[in-house]
Amino acid sequence: MATINVTDDSFQSDVLDADKPVLVDFWAEWCGPCKMIAPALEELSDELADKVTIAKMDIMENPDVPGKMGVQSIPFLVVFKNGEPVAQQMGAAPKNALKQWLESHV
């Protein structure tokens, strides 16, 4: 399962109403560290497909949700469970560190 793209309009149904945990990667096209972690997140979306959905939200195209969430720096990763944010991490990290962090919260 590949990552999904989430918009301001689909955030409620794709993330908050999801039946399993969702990791949202708030990113932008111009963000170097965002591009660095993208392949790792794609791989993790396959490896952990039965446990978590990995979603990407472009903050330039979708300013409402990131604004409400207080996103000030990217990449900004937030794990949602049952419609609530339960963990967040700012900045890029190696795949194994991302996987360990993610697995500890899903």
| pLDDT reported for residue 2 | 84
- What is the Cα–Cα distance from 37 to 81, expressed in whole angstroms? 22
Q: What is the mean pLDDT of residues 61-66?
A: 97
Considering 22, 23, 31, 44, which one is annotated as catalytic? Answer: 31
Residue 29's DSSP bridge partners are: none
The answer on pLDDT for 55 being more than 80 is: yes
| 34 among known catalytic residues | yes
- What is the Cα–Cα distance from 13 to 33, expressed in whole angstroms? 28
Q: What is the mean pLDDT of residues 65-85?
A: 96
The answer on pLDDT for 1 being more than 70 is: no
Mean pLDDT value across the chain = 96
Class of domain 4-103: alpha beta
Q: Quick check: 35 and 85 in contact, CB under 8 A?
A: no
> pLDDT tens, 94-106?
999 999 999 999 9
Instruction: Round the CA-based radius of gyration of the chain to a whole number and report it.
Output: 12
Q: Using alpha carbons, list the distances in angstroms from residue 94 to 10, 21, 63, 68.
A: 29, 21, 27, 28
| 99 among known catalytic residues | no
Considering 6, 22, 24, 34, which one is annotated as catalytic? Answer: 34
pLDDT interval class at 10 (50, 70, 90): very high
Burial 33-71 (b: 16+ CB within 10 A, else e): ebeebbebbeebbeebeeebbbbbbbbeebeebbeebeb
